[in-house]
Amino acid sequence: MSLVLHISDTHFGTEQPPVVAALQALVRERRPDLVILSGDVTQRATELQFEAARATLAGLGDAPLLVLPGNHDIPLYNLALRLWRPYARYLRAFGPQLEPVLHLDDMLVVGVNTTRPERHTNGEVSAAQIESVSRTLARARPGQLRIVVTHQPAAVLRASDEHDRLLNADEALHAWSNAGADLVLGGHIHLPYVVELSGQARPTPRPMWCVQAGTALSHRVRWGTANSVNLIHWHAVPLGRTRTCKVERCDYDAKTEAFLTASEQTLGLA
Protein backbone atom coordinates (compact mmCIF):
# COMPACT_ATOMS: atom_id res chain seq x y z
CA MET A 1 0.00 0.00 0.00
CA SER A 2 1.29 3.45 -0.95
CA LEU A 3 0.09 6.78 0.38
CA VAL A 4 0.32 10.07 -1.54
CA LEU A 5 -0.10 13.43 0.19
CA HIS A 6 -1.53 15.92 -2.29
CA ILE A 7 -1.35 19.57 -1.21
CA SER A 8 -1.85 22.75 -3.19
CA ASP A 9 -1.89 26.54 -2.97
CA THR A 10 0.27 26.85 0.13
CA HIS A 11 0.79 30.54 -0.70
CA PHE A 12 3.79 31.01 1.57
CA GLY A 13 3.67 34.58 2.77
CA THR A 14 0.06 34.00 3.87
CA GLU A 15 0.60 30.70 5.69
CA GLN A 16 -0.83 30.22 9.19
CA PRO A 17 1.66 28.79 11.73
CA PRO A 18 -0.89 26.55 13.53
CA VAL A 19 -1.94 25.04 10.20
CA VAL A 20 1.70 24.47 9.19
CA ALA A 21 2.25 22.67 12.50
CA ALA A 22 -0.86 20.57 11.89
CA LEU A 23 0.38 19.55 8.45
CA GLN A 24 3.74 18.55 9.93
CA ALA A 25 1.92 16.47 12.56
CA LEU A 26 -0.21 14.80 9.87
CA VAL A 27 2.92 13.83 7.95
CA ARG A 28 4.54 12.38 11.08
CA GLU A 29 1.40 10.37 11.79
CA ARG A 30 0.56 9.12 8.28
CA ARG A 31 4.11 8.89 6.83
CA PRO A 32 3.24 9.39 3.12
CA ASP A 33 5.35 7.70 0.47
CA LEU A 34 5.14 10.74 -1.84
CA VAL A 35 4.25 14.42 -1.45
CA ILE A 36 2.79 16.37 -4.40
CA LEU A 37 2.38 20.17 -4.34
CA SER A 38 0.31 21.29 -7.31
CA GLY A 39 1.35 24.93 -7.56
CA ASP A 40 0.99 28.36 -5.98
CA VAL A 41 3.77 27.56 -3.58
CA THR A 42 4.14 31.26 -2.72
CA GLN A 43 1.92 34.32 -2.61
CA ARG A 44 4.15 36.78 -4.49
CA ALA A 45 7.18 34.75 -5.66
CA THR A 46 9.63 36.57 -3.40
CA GLU A 47 12.94 35.06 -2.38
CA LEU A 48 11.91 34.98 1.29
CA GLN A 49 8.67 33.20 0.48
CA PHE A 50 10.46 30.57 -1.59
CA GLU A 51 13.00 30.08 1.20
CA ALA A 52 10.21 29.56 3.73
CA ALA A 53 8.48 27.11 1.41
CA ARG A 54 11.63 25.11 0.76
CA ALA A 55 12.47 24.91 4.47
CA THR A 56 8.95 23.80 5.42
CA LEU A 57 8.72 21.19 2.69
CA ALA A 58 12.17 19.84 3.54
CA GLY A 59 10.92 19.35 7.08
CA LEU A 60 8.11 17.06 5.96
CA GLY A 61 10.39 14.03 5.94
CA ASP A 62 12.26 11.90 3.46
CA ALA A 63 9.43 11.05 1.04
CA PRO A 64 9.98 12.08 -2.59
CA LEU A 65 8.56 15.50 -3.38
CA LEU A 66 7.06 16.65 -6.68
CA VAL A 67 6.40 20.39 -6.93
CA LEU A 68 4.86 22.40 -9.78
CA PRO A 69 4.78 26.18 -10.22
CA GLY A 70 1.50 28.03 -10.06
CA ASN A 71 0.63 31.45 -11.43
CA HIS A 72 1.53 33.04 -8.06
CA ASP A 73 5.06 31.61 -8.37
CA ILE A 74 5.83 34.03 -11.22
CA PRO A 75 6.68 37.60 -10.11
CA LEU A 76 3.71 39.91 -10.59
CA TYR A 77 5.14 43.36 -9.88
CA ASN A 78 8.77 42.84 -10.96
CA LEU A 79 8.05 43.17 -14.69
CA ALA A 80 11.64 42.69 -15.82
CA LEU A 81 11.91 39.40 -13.96
CA ARG A 82 8.47 38.31 -15.15
CA LEU A 83 9.39 38.99 -18.77
CA TRP A 84 12.94 37.66 -18.89
CA ARG A 85 13.39 35.18 -16.03
CA PRO A 86 9.90 34.33 -14.77
CA TYR A 87 10.87 31.05 -13.09
CA ALA A 88 14.31 32.04 -11.78
CA ARG A 89 13.35 32.12 -8.10
CA TYR A 90 11.19 29.02 -8.37
CA LEU A 91 13.99 27.06 -10.04
CA ARG A 92 16.50 28.24 -7.45
CA ALA A 93 14.26 26.77 -4.75
CA PHE A 94 12.97 23.64 -6.48
CA GLY A 95 14.72 23.36 -9.87
CA PRO A 96 15.92 22.41 -12.31
CA GLN A 97 12.70 20.92 -13.71
CA LEU A 98 9.49 22.80 -14.40
CA GLU A 99 7.81 19.54 -15.44
CA PRO A 100 9.16 16.82 -13.13
CA VAL A 101 8.38 13.15 -13.66
CA LEU A 102 8.63 10.53 -10.91
CA HIS A 103 8.94 6.81 -11.65
CA LEU A 104 8.17 4.86 -8.49
CA ASP A 105 7.67 1.11 -8.18
CA ASP A 106 3.87 1.33 -8.18
CA MET A 107 3.25 4.87 -9.44
CA LEU A 108 4.10 7.11 -12.38
CA VAL A 109 3.61 10.83 -11.72
CA VAL A 110 3.88 13.38 -14.55
CA GLY A 111 4.03 17.10 -13.81
CA VAL A 112 2.76 19.62 -16.39
CA ASN A 113 3.63 23.32 -16.17
CA THR A 114 0.33 25.00 -17.06
CA THR A 115 1.40 28.53 -16.10
CA ARG A 116 2.14 31.15 -18.72
CA PRO A 117 4.09 34.33 -17.81
CA GLU A 118 2.10 36.39 -20.31
CA ARG A 119 -1.11 35.57 -18.45
CA HIS A 120 -2.03 36.61 -14.92
CA THR A 121 -4.04 33.60 -13.76
CA ASN A 122 -5.21 31.51 -16.70
CA GLY A 123 -3.46 28.23 -17.36
CA GLU A 124 -2.95 26.37 -20.61
CA VAL A 125 -1.70 23.03 -21.83
CA SER A 126 -0.20 23.09 -25.31
CA ALA A 127 -0.44 20.47 -28.04
CA ALA A 128 3.24 19.67 -27.50
CA GLN A 129 2.66 19.15 -23.77
CA ILE A 130 -0.37 16.96 -24.42
CA GLU A 131 1.70 14.75 -26.73
CA SER A 132 4.70 14.62 -24.40
CA VAL A 133 2.59 13.58 -21.41
CA SER A 134 0.81 10.97 -23.53
CA ARG A 135 4.14 9.44 -24.57
CA THR A 136 5.30 9.28 -20.96
CA LEU A 137 2.04 7.69 -19.81
CA ALA A 138 2.23 5.10 -22.56
CA ARG A 139 5.55 3.91 -21.11
CA ALA A 140 4.04 3.19 -17.68
CA ARG A 141 4.65 -0.28 -16.31
CA PRO A 142 1.68 -2.62 -15.74
CA GLY A 143 0.28 -2.10 -12.27
CA GLN A 144 1.43 1.50 -11.84
CA LEU A 145 -1.03 4.19 -10.76
CA ARG A 146 -0.69 6.86 -13.45
CA ILE A 147 -1.05 10.42 -12.18
CA VAL A 148 -0.88 13.72 -14.08
CA VAL A 149 -0.45 16.93 -12.08
CA THR A 150 -1.44 20.40 -13.29
CA HIS A 151 -2.03 23.65 -11.41
CA GLN A 152 -5.26 24.94 -12.91
CA PRO A 153 -8.22 22.53 -12.72
CA ALA A 154 -8.87 20.14 -15.58
CA ALA A 155 -12.57 20.02 -14.67
CA VAL A 156 -14.87 22.21 -12.59
CA LEU A 157 -18.15 21.63 -10.80
CA ARG A 158 -19.60 25.13 -10.99
CA ALA A 159 -20.29 27.26 -14.03
CA SER A 160 -18.78 30.23 -12.20
CA ASP A 161 -15.39 28.44 -12.14
CA GLU A 162 -15.31 27.70 -15.87
CA HIS A 163 -13.13 30.76 -16.55
CA ASP A 164 -10.46 29.24 -14.28
CA ARG A 165 -10.47 25.91 -16.07
CA LEU A 166 -7.32 24.82 -17.87
CA LEU A 167 -7.33 25.92 -21.52
CA ASN A 168 -7.34 22.94 -23.91
CA ALA A 169 -8.40 20.70 -21.03
CA ASP A 170 -10.82 18.60 -23.08
CA GLU A 171 -8.17 17.74 -25.67
CA ALA A 172 -5.66 16.92 -22.95
CA LEU A 173 -8.02 14.75 -20.92
CA HIS A 174 -9.08 12.74 -23.96
CA ALA A 175 -5.49 12.11 -25.02
CA TRP A 176 -4.22 11.34 -21.51
CA SER A 177 -7.10 8.97 -20.86
CA ASN A 178 -6.30 7.11 -24.06
CA ALA A 179 -2.68 6.94 -22.92
CA GLY A 180 -3.66 5.37 -19.59
CA ALA A 181 -3.92 8.18 -17.03
CA ASP A 182 -5.92 7.40 -13.89
CA LEU A 183 -5.91 10.70 -11.97
CA VAL A 184 -5.38 14.37 -12.81
CA LEU A 185 -4.51 16.38 -9.70
CA GLY A 186 -4.81 20.15 -9.45
CA GLY A 187 -5.59 23.19 -7.33
CA HIS A 188 -5.77 26.94 -8.11
CA ILE A 189 -9.36 27.67 -7.08
CA HIS A 190 -9.01 26.63 -3.40
CA LEU A 191 -11.95 24.23 -3.69
CA PRO A 192 -11.54 20.51 -2.95
CA TYR A 193 -13.59 18.02 -5.00
CA VAL A 194 -13.43 14.84 -7.06
CA VAL A 195 -14.96 14.50 -10.54
CA GLU A 196 -15.34 11.32 -12.62
CA LEU A 197 -14.39 12.42 -16.13
CA SER A 198 -15.84 9.61 -18.25
CA GLY A 199 -19.32 10.76 -17.22
CA GLN A 200 -18.93 14.42 -18.19
CA ALA A 201 -20.42 16.24 -21.18
CA ARG A 202 -17.23 15.53 -23.13
CA PRO A 203 -16.43 12.12 -21.65
CA THR A 204 -12.99 10.57 -21.51
CA PRO A 205 -12.75 7.22 -23.31
CA ARG A 206 -11.97 5.33 -20.09
CA PRO A 207 -12.49 5.97 -16.37
CA MET A 208 -10.34 8.87 -15.15
CA TRP A 209 -10.73 11.23 -12.20
CA CYS A 210 -10.01 14.91 -11.56
CA VAL A 211 -8.90 15.32 -7.94
CA GLN A 212 -8.71 18.91 -6.68
CA ALA A 213 -7.11 20.14 -3.46
CA GLY A 214 -8.04 23.22 -1.46
CA THR A 215 -5.52 25.62 0.00
CA ALA A 216 -3.31 23.70 2.41
CA LEU A 217 -1.90 26.47 4.61
CA SER A 218 -3.05 29.94 3.56
CA HIS A 219 -5.61 32.14 5.28
CA ARG A 220 -7.02 32.66 1.77
CA VAL A 221 -9.71 29.98 2.18
CA ARG A 222 -12.77 30.38 -0.04
CA TRP A 223 -16.35 29.24 -0.51
CA GLY A 224 -16.84 28.41 3.16
CA THR A 225 -14.22 25.65 3.07
CA ALA A 226 -11.38 24.95 5.49
CA ASN A 227 -7.71 24.44 4.83
CA SER A 228 -7.53 20.96 3.35
CA VAL A 229 -5.24 18.32 1.87
CA ASN A 230 -5.79 14.99 0.12
CA LEU A 231 -4.41 11.57 0.99
CA ILE A 232 -4.51 9.12 -1.92
CA HIS A 233 -4.37 5.46 -0.90
CA TRP A 234 -3.15 3.07 -3.59
CA HIS A 235 -2.58 -0.67 -3.61
CA ALA A 236 -1.38 -2.24 -6.85
CA VAL A 237 -3.27 -5.41 -7.82
CA PRO A 238 -2.44 -8.24 -10.26
CA LEU A 239 -3.49 -7.86 -13.88
CA GLY A 240 -7.13 -8.72 -14.38
CA ARG A 241 -8.17 -7.61 -10.90
CA THR A 242 -10.37 -4.54 -10.33
CA ARG A 243 -8.25 -1.44 -9.77
CA THR A 244 -9.35 1.19 -7.26
CA CYS A 245 -7.80 3.92 -5.15
CA LYS A 246 -9.19 5.93 -2.25
CA VAL A 247 -9.12 9.71 -1.82
CA GLU A 248 -9.28 10.85 1.78
CA ARG A 249 -9.79 14.57 2.28
CA CYS A 250 -8.48 16.00 5.54
CA ASP A 251 -9.70 19.41 6.70
CA TYR A 252 -8.02 21.60 9.30
CA ASP A 253 -10.02 21.77 12.52
CA ALA A 254 -9.30 24.92 14.50
CA LYS A 255 -10.57 23.46 17.77
CA THR A 256 -8.12 20.56 17.79
CA GLU A 257 -5.50 22.34 15.63
CA ALA A 258 -5.25 19.19 13.52
CA PHE A 259 -6.10 17.90 10.06
CA LEU A 260 -9.02 15.49 10.47
CA THR A 261 -10.67 13.17 7.94
CA ALA A 262 -13.58 15.01 6.31
CA SER A 263 -14.51 12.54 3.56
CA GLU A 264 -13.40 9.32 1.88
CA GLN A 265 -14.21 8.25 -1.67
CA THR A 266 -13.23 5.08 -3.48
CA LEU A 267 -12.48 5.66 -7.17
CA GLY A 268 -12.95 2.92 -9.74
CA LEU A 269 -10.10 2.76 -12.28
CA ALA A 270 -9.82 1.08 -15.65
Residue pLDDT, tens place only, 162-188: 999 999 999 999 999 999 999 999 999
- Domain ranges in the chain are 2-269
Look at residue 80 in the predicted model and tell me its pLDDT. Answer: 83
CATH 3.60.21.10 fits 2-269, yes or no: yes
Query: DSSP readout, 171-216?
Result: HHHHHHHHTT--EEEE-SSS--EEEEGGGSSS--SS--EEEE---S
* 207-240 pLDDT tens trace: 999 999 999 999 999 989 999 999 999 998 887 7
- How do residues 87-129 score in pLDDT, each as one tens digit? 999 999 998 999 999 999 999 999 999 999 998 899 999 999 9
Of the candidates 123, 107, 269, which has an alpha carbon nearest to the alpha carbon of residue 194? 269
Sign of the C-alpha dihedral computed for residues 55, 57, 58 and 61 taken in this order = positive
Residue-averaged pLDDT of the chain = 96
Give how far the C-alpha of residue 222 lies from the chain's centroid of Cα atoms, to the nearest Å. 18
pLDDT, tens only, 82-93: 889 999 999 999
Distance CA 43, CA 13 (A): 6
CA distance 262 to 107: 25
State the pLDDT at residue 31. Answer: 98
- What are the C-alpha distances in Å from 55 to residues 22, 52, 98, 111? 16, 5, 19, 22
Confirm if 72 and 11 have CB atoms less than 8 A apart: yes
Quick one: pLDDT band at residue 79, thresholds 50, 70, 90? Answer: confident
201 band by pLDDT with thresholds 50, 70 and 90: confident
- The reported pTM is 0.97
Confidence of residue 6 (pLDDT cuts 50, 70, 90): very high
The pLDDT of residue 161 is 96
Say what the pLDDT of residue 116 is.
96
pLDDT of residue 238: 80
Backbone angles phi, psi at 266, to 5 degrees: -90, 130
Sheet containing 2-7, strands listed edge to edge, beginning at the edge strand earlier in sequence:
65-68, 34-38, 2-7, 228-234, 243-253, 258-269
Residues 27-63: tens digit of each pLDDT: 999 999 999 999 999 999 999 999 999 999 999 999 9
Q: Give the number of other Cβ atoms within 10 Å of residue 59's Cβ.
A: 11
Strand partners, 234: 2, 245
Measured over the CA atoms of residue 87, residue 91, residue 94 and residue 97, the dihedral's sign is positive
